[in-house]
Amino acid sequence: MASADPGNAATAAQKMLKIENTQKRDALVEVERKYQKVWAESGVFESNAPAATDASQAQQDKYFATIAYPYMNGSLHAGHGYTISKVEFATGYARLQGKNALFPLGFHCTGMAIKACADKLVREVEMFGQNFERYTEDDDEEGDVDARQAGDGTAATDAGAAAVSDVTKFRSKKTKAVAKSGAAKYQFQIMLSQGIPREDIHKFADAYHWVHVFPAAGIRDASRLGLRVDWRRSFVTTDANPFYDSFVRWQMNRLKELGKIKFGKRYTIYSPKDGQPCLDHDRSEGEGVGIQDYTGIKMKVVDWPEAAKTTIQKVLPPNTQANVYFLAATLRPETMYGQTCCFVGPKITYGLFKLHDTAANPGADNDYVVCTERAARNLAFQGYSAVWGETQKFAEFIGADLIGTLLDAPLSVHKSVRVLPMETAQASKGTGVVTCVPSDSPDDYATVIELAKKADYYKIQKEWATLEVIPIIETPNYGKLTAPALVEKMKIVSPKDPKLPEAKNIAYKEGFYNGTMVHGEFSGRPVQQAKDLVKQKLFDLALAFPYAEPEGIVISRSKDECVAAHLDQWYLNYGTAENGGDGEWNAQVRAHLQNEDGNGLNTFSAEAKRRFEEALDWLGQWACARSYGLGSKLPWDDQFLVESLSDSTIYPAYYTIAHYFHRDIYGKEPGLANIRPEQMTDEAWDFVLARTAKPPSDSDISLPVLNAMRHEFQYWYPLDLRVSGKDLIQNHLTFFLYIHVALWPSQYWPRGVRVNGFVLLNGEKMAKSTGNFLTLRETVDKFGADAARVALADAGDAVDDANFSESVANAAILKLYELRQWIEDMILGDAAAKDNKDGQRSGPLNFWDTLFDNEMNRLVWETKEAYDAHLFRAALRSGFYNFTGARDVYRDAVGAIGMHSKLVRRYAELQCLLLGPVAPHWCEYIWTEVLGHKHSIQVARWPNDCPRPDRALQATADYEQTTTSAVMAAWGQLVKRLVKSSKKGASAGPGQQAVFDPRSSPFRLRIFFTESLPGWQERCIDLVTAALKETGLVDTDAIGKSIGKTETKRAMPFIQQLKKRLQDASESAGSSVGKNDQVVDETEKSVETAIILGRRLQFDEATVLEEISPRLKKVLGTRCEKVDIVRITKTTAAVSTEEGQEEIIEGYVLSTGEVLPMKDLPAIAASAAPGIPKFTFEPVN
């Protein structure tokens, strides 16, 4: 992590929203705290498996959901809140559905992050004193600790400390030095910058102090968000909780017995400084980076150029009989037959390193290799040096001094080749030495072409770069010379062409998957077979040996650059048969992911499923043990700890029975079973977790207790939902699937995994270093729980990154407060007697009442659909924003006559149910204290008896909204466009719109509607109907051929409009939420099609226009004196026009009965169609 720019940090901090008037927020918070206490005291979120004898409760559906438990090297932050909210909302909705819902939350402390931070403090206390009193700013120059080492970076003291010492509360109070640099060099500075009192920091030198502080703070902060968590089941990992420690050891024992854990030499990412493997959770940089396996080609030096010869003779006199090789790392050993040269980077520093005789590189005691220091360091940890982990460097060169060296090229048709310059060679990838095969590598081919053209410039002899390019592999698409063909096809002009990476990728895939060898003893074989055969031949002839390195830079939390080490270690045999893993195990997980029978894994998005598939393709063997950090000891080898991604795979199973073990999170206070950790033997775990049918014969736990725990597990499993960040698919979540598949039969395998993206704060990356950061506690302090939850729901739904917006949270405060006041007034106040817009009435429902009632029905079903799909942002939109919007339209439409009291109450009740999963405190208050329900909304039920929306009323509402919007849009344009002129107040001529100033002149709105289509439109519909019957498609090109030339201009746009309406009808017949997963209702689709093509509406347009005209008059303002509704009808006569025969029309004013001849009608009146009225604004004389 780069040092923060103080200027950027100040800018980010300034962007953070400042709330000054907190009265409304505080009123909401008061209710939130009240109900959090009520819920905690009542235990409403404590969910239990029903007794096996309780038949009625046994029929109740269960719902079990978790998040990936948070790591406890700091306080929970808004990003944690976002992930937590997905399970929280799902759990709230499940409760409304009547399900027995369980949401537990534990805390992960395993790994080296906490220990690394604690150990830094140990050293810093030794250096500077207990309170760091000996520290001076001059010490910053010697500091060797970067801010990135702190992991989450927030630290704490005892949870019960006074507010001034509450170190879990984020406060940015940087030291002078930190303020200047923007980054802390020492761990104690990092903790000071978070507002931790200096005198408390030394306590964190004990790693277990972190374990005892932050989980307690996490429970406090999560509870203040109002989570529906069953805290009885919470726990911490590591041996700090002996019950969980026992659970992890049982898991590892069983995996070893099943052959899933193996021991042997394998490559792993390793931290030399820490002396152990550095897995994903141990890294400050490079999470997800794996091992890249190469073949190290030994290209023996035949002759040195003068620039290097002197150096070599000093360190390796001729009588030493040393063998010196340029070590080239290649991914394509099968192409070695076509080597034409060897590349080095002219500006790269290379070394001469001594090798050691090994099984992989026999007879190498007098061998030396030329490669980069980085590559030599990796070689040393792979056993190629005399002392494991130590390099022996005899000389150093700049790449330019090596150009011209003559080498033997193993297997190549060209026995001797030269070392040439390659400006794009990288010291950070491979060995820095690149063997050149221009037949199959676009990079190599482009480079040798460049060198041959500019030999003098590069100070080489042209013939060195012009050896014959030999065909090695034939591919169907690019022939026998893939690289030259691709370079020509893609018009690549230089070695730095940006298209080269794409060309390289194509060449590799084309050669590997579709290529056939055309040279050498394996000629005729597919490359997929020949690759390993050629590699083994090179090994057998001692012309090459295996080499590996990290795929990219990996930095441990102790600031060490990691290497690829070849170690004896315990590992989980993940992976495919092709990459050395357990192929059968992999296939089982893959089949569960495919979910072909509907009983597999629901990933909720195609993107998440694709990422899982990719992980299953590439993810291989995984080291499951380490020697440093916190955790549980490996049961059969207690010098090792179980690493952090291996003790966190099946802990949802532990949640199901945790409350039987302990009442506290550390396993110190006995739980329901009143048993000791040592009583949970492996055999007891087997029975309780349903891996064996018979209870252990030697257990001193009573059989009723064992049966009760087993029943609890069998009731809650399988896990219904697991939520996590998308970045954990590449390790944690895939391991989660693997281990469940290994330990249990399929009925206990997970049913759902939902991943989300990272969380931005106010549209920018959240980071403490920039000040753009909120802890979960700060979030709730700033906005209150419900407003924060609304913003979390609004932040996003997809796998893409989400955005927590402070402005949304702040707006939610106002919206929730004002809506609460309005409902209080309407339900508890004297609103019925008021002569204003909030007055209420009873009796029969009128036009607007029925529209509002139906709109509520529609939004209830739309919100249900969103919750069912776990699309909480969509649920918030329909169930809150649009729901209150529908009320606003209704309230405005009924005006002075008031809202119907029955609908007001129905609205309030439905609003509580629809918003309940997201804003439970607000809804609880309205539900119980305003609406007077005796039972908590936490046990209320979703309105499943809500009627389906009436199609005709929905069409009426859509028509009203569309017509009103169109009138107001046209009105707005008119006000902008028209100016005072000499024509002000003048009447319009025949077919013309009057020009006047509506701001000062009275006017009328005229609405023209018709119940029949013009003849030419009727003919178009007939053609579309015939096409649908014949082919099921609307082929506009084919239909156009049946239309006369004179009518084409107006007919084709109309047909396109018809086609779009039919498409929209088809889509609306499916899911209105989550279009990627639509299921079309064919009956509804056919009804919509019949309406569109049947020339009819689902409502009486004249009646609707008469009903909405008072509202139109109102919204247009006091200058609108009247609204005339005019029915347009066709007469029997017609006239000829350039576009064909045109019917003669006339108008009928509904309110007066006046008949308007065609000459008195504006031209726009003829464009009216059923459901598509036209209108004019005309001055009143």
pLDDT of residue 146: 36
- CA 488 to CA 413: how far, in whole Å? 25
Q: Band of the pLDDT at 282, cuts 50, 70, 90?
A: confident
Query: Residue 779 has what pLDDT?
Result: 96
990 CB neighbour count, 10 Å cutoff? 11
Ramachandran quadrant class, 275 (left: phi over 0; alpha: psi -120 to 50; beta: rest): left
144: confidence class by pLDDT, cuts 50, 70, 90: very low
Q: Do 987 and 1034 lie in a common domain?
A: no
Dump pLDDT digits (tens) for 518-570: 999 999 999 988 999 999 999 999 999 999 999 999 999 888 999 999 998 89
Assign 149 a pLDDT band (cuts: 50, 70, 90).
Answer: very low
Do the beta carbons of residue 442 and residue 483 sit within 8 Å? Answer: yes
Domain termination site, one of 523, 550, 577: 550
- d(C-alpha 29, C-alpha 7), whole Å: 35
**Within this chain, do residues 328 and 196 fall inside the same structural domain, yes or no?**
no
User: Could you give the CA distance from residue 1016 to residue 1001 in angstroms, rounded to a whole number?
Assistant: 39
Are 394 and 434 found together in one domain?
Answer: yes
- Among 1039, 1074, 1093, the domain boundary falls at 1093
677 phi and psi angles, rounded to 5 deg: -55, -40
The answer on 1113 and 1023 residing in a single domain is no
Confidence band for 113, pLDDT divided at 50, 70 and 90: confident
Residue 94 has pLDDT above 80, yes or no: yes
pLDDT tens by residue, 677-716: 999 999 999 999 999 999 999 999 999 999 999 999 999 9
pLDDT of amino acid 181: 40
If one compares 1066 and 85, the residue with the highest pLDDT of the two is 85
Asked whether the predicted pLDDT for residue 57 surpasses 70, the reply is no
Task: Evaluate whether residue 963 is within a structural domain.
Answer: no
Residue 358: inside a domain, yes or no?
yes
**Does residue 1074 lie within any of the structural domains?**
yes
Please check whether residue 57 lies inside any domain of the structure: no
Structure token digits, residue 500: 């080269």
* pTM metric for this prediction: 0.80
pLDDT of residue 211 exceeding 60: yes
CA gap 481, 470 in Å, rounded: 8
pLDDT band for position 1118 (cuts 50, 70, 90): confident
**pLDDT confidence of residue 830:** 64
Q: Which of 760-774, 1010-1024, 1076-1090 ranks highest by mean pLDDT?
A: 760-774
The reply to whether 1150 and 1039 lie within a common domain is: no
Ranges 90-99, 181-190, 732-741, 1106-1115: which has the least confidence: 181-190
Cβ neighbour number for residue 1050 with a 10 Å cutoff:
15
Q: Strand (E) positions, 171-322?
A: 261-271, 276-277, 283-285, 291-303
Nearest-CA neighbor of 849 among 914, 931, 909, 904?
Answer: 904
pLDDT tens, position by position, 1156-1169: 998 999 988 988 88
In total, how many domains does the chain have? 4
Residue 987 shares a structural domain with residue 1046? no
* pLDDT at 7 exceeding the cut of 70: no
Pairing state of beta strands 759-761 and 764-765? antiparallel
Write the pLDDT tens digit of every residue in 604-618.
999 999 999 999 998
486-500 residue pLDDT tens: 999 999 999 999 999
Crossing angle between the packed helical segments 901-915 and 847-868, to the nearest 10 degrees: 10
Do residues 859 and 880 make contact, with C-beta atoms less than 8 angstroms apart?
no
Q: To the nearest whole number, what is the mean pLDDT of the chain?
A: 88
Q: What is the pLDDT of residue 319?
A: 76
| Same domain flag for 430 and 336 | yes
Are 315 and 461 part of one and the same domain? yes
- The domain boundary, picked from 550, 578, 593, lies at 550
pLDDT of residue 195: 67
Q: Give yes or no for a contact between 586 and 574, defined as CB atoms under 8 angstroms apart.
A: yes
Is 171 a residue whose pLDDT tops 50? no
Compute the average pLDDT of residues 1056-1079.
Answer: 59
Would the pLDDT of 836 be above 80? no
Are 1143 and 1084 found together in one domain? Answer: no
Q: Is residue 496 part of a domain?
A: yes
* Average pLDDT value for residue range 980-990: 45
Location of structure tokens 């959770």: 281
- DSSP three-state, residue 407: strand
**365 and 488 together in one domain:** yes
- Give 1125-1146 pLDDT, tens digit per residue: 999 998 755 555 555 556 788 9
Percent of the chain with pLDDT over 90: 69
Query: Residues 365-389: pLDDT tens digits?
Result: 899 999 999 999 999 999 999 999 9
pLDDT value, residue 12:
52
pLDDT of res. 14? 60
Alpha helices in 869-950 (DSSP H): 872-876, 882-894, 901-915, 920-924
> Do 323 and 406 belong together in one domain?
yes
- List all residues 6 or more positions away from 404 whose beta carbon is below 8 Å from its beta carbon: 305, 418, 419, 460, 464
Q: What is the pLDDT of residue 1095?
A: 56
pLDDT for 169 equals: 47
Position 1045 scores a pLDDT of 74
- 481 vs 994, residue with greater confidence: 481
Mean pLDDT, range 1012-1034, rounded to an integer:
81
Q: Average pLDDT for residues 96-105, to the nearest whole number?
A: 98
> How large is the average pLDDT for residues 213-236?
96
Across the range 329-337, mean pLDDT stands at: 97
Average pLDDT over residues 115-138: 90
* pLDDT for the residue numbered 365: 85
pLDDT reading at 638 higher than 70: yes
Domain membership flag for residue 307:
yes
Assess if residue 75 is contained within a domain. Answer: no
Residue 972 has pLDDT above 70, yes or no: yes
Higher pLDDT, 1072 or 840: 840
Do residues 417 and 521 both lie within one domain? yes
- Residue numbers of the domain that contains 1036: 1015-1093
The number of residues in the chain equals 1181
Assigned token pair, 447: 């480079």
In this structure, of 173-182, 418-427, 863-872, the range with the lowest mean pLDDT score is 173-182
Whose CA is closest to 266, among 696, 694, 674, 575?
A: 575
| Structure-model confidence comparison of residues 973 and 685, the more confident one | 685
Cis preceding linkage at 718, omega within 30: yes
Cβ contact 1114:895 at 8 Å? yes
Whether 22 is in a domain gets the answer: no
